[in-house]
A and B are shown apart, each in its own frame.
Chain A
Amino acid sequence: MSTEVSTPEKASTPSSPPPDEGNGGESLVQRVVKMQAFQILLVLLVIVIVFSTLAPNNFANFGNARSIVLNASILAILGVGMTFVIVTSGIDLSIGSVMVFSGVIGAKAMIAVGGDSWGTAFVGIGVSLATGLAWGLFNGFLIAKAKVPPLIVTLGSLGMALGLAQIITKGVDIREVPQVMQDEIGYGNVVGQLPVLTVIAVVVVAIGIVVLHHTRFGRYTYAVGSNEESARRVGVKVDRHLIKVYALSGVLSGFAGVLFLAQFGTTAIAGQTQTNLNVIAAVVIGGTSLFGGVGTIFGTVVGLFIPAVLQNGFVIVGIQPFWQQVAVGAVLIAAVYVDQVRRASAARGGKSTRPSLRFGAKKSSPVEQGE
């Protein structure tokens, strides 16, 4: 029944941003209200309020909020990288597998070094980051230089990374993780009950926001996703930029892999098959357009919490938790629909109202004058 409560809110979102022509003199408040990330935040608030009303004791308490946030922490780190990738109008399906592979290699390295010290832990972290970076560069190079569509490249590396992880471990999860890593990072708290993992995620998200919105790297990410050809004409090194963006996603996947080790003490080789889709769903729900050029990391974080809160809330309220998948699917479709409507109203002058999705292929130059 709580799905029904949140439905009217979803349905009303498409009509709320009026297709205001010549939106001059628009205040900051108006601009924020029109942001999809803000609208989705309202949806989240409604969901939270509904569950809090239905289960004031079990849902709305610190311990439960803490567990929701903790569960979303690693996904948030992956979401930062995925937001950059999708803003370039690309896609990275390999994050879950790269996470597993990096975790496996990191764990192997720590076993090889031996011991339970911080030194061992740092070796593991460094190795995992480097492994993730290598996969990201592999993806980026094939996408930018070999011009293989991102969907295919990362589908390929998804299989390769997972397969190699299984070959290396012979299909058996590694469960030897330095105790210090599990105690201090996985279960550690900063000031009282604030999980270390969450603090790390918040830092990564904050850096991601600054880089995406306030640096040249971020600006070029939007430019490449918006119009690759015009970015190239003003001197943006588009290929190199794409490689960097996929490398970033790889590094963050590697980082997520080692944090997962710290949290659960196992490589969980079979446990990440849905991770890529969950993260992509969160990014899209948060208002980042699959067509590229539009999106925020803040939106991605909000987009992560909708599935997380629904899952948690359904269990507490006593609804079959399988409803979560149904609800998240509906929110996802609604979010993309809102994006479509907004793009159609933003493009004046009778352009096609249905831009074709193109992350399957790198955009060809829009007009190569036939002269």
Chain B
Amino acid sequence: MELIATQLPGLLLVRVGQDRIDAAGAIQFKDRMRELIAPAQGRVMLDMSQVGFLDSSGLGAVVGVMKLLGPDRKLELAALTANVEKVLRLTRMDSVFVIHPAAPHDLRDAG
């Protein structure tokens, strides 16, 4: 499970570097995210632009990651593909996450 984390001021941006979060990878995704967010302060955003497939197990893992953040922080999702957006809409989980049309450019892109 390739997850690329970039710490921006007040925001941990995690790019999911593979094309699916599914039943075969859900536990690994959640475990790796747990390691990444443990030391992080502030907001946490997942860049989902590479993820073309999310099944119910993958969705459960994403919800699980949000629960790891505790009651005061919401998991933010950015750049959803059409298939992933549809899964969130059909399960009404689109209201649970903060959803952004695009991820912010990370520091490598600045200036």
Q: Do A and B bind each other?
A: no
Residues of A within 8 A of B (CB): none
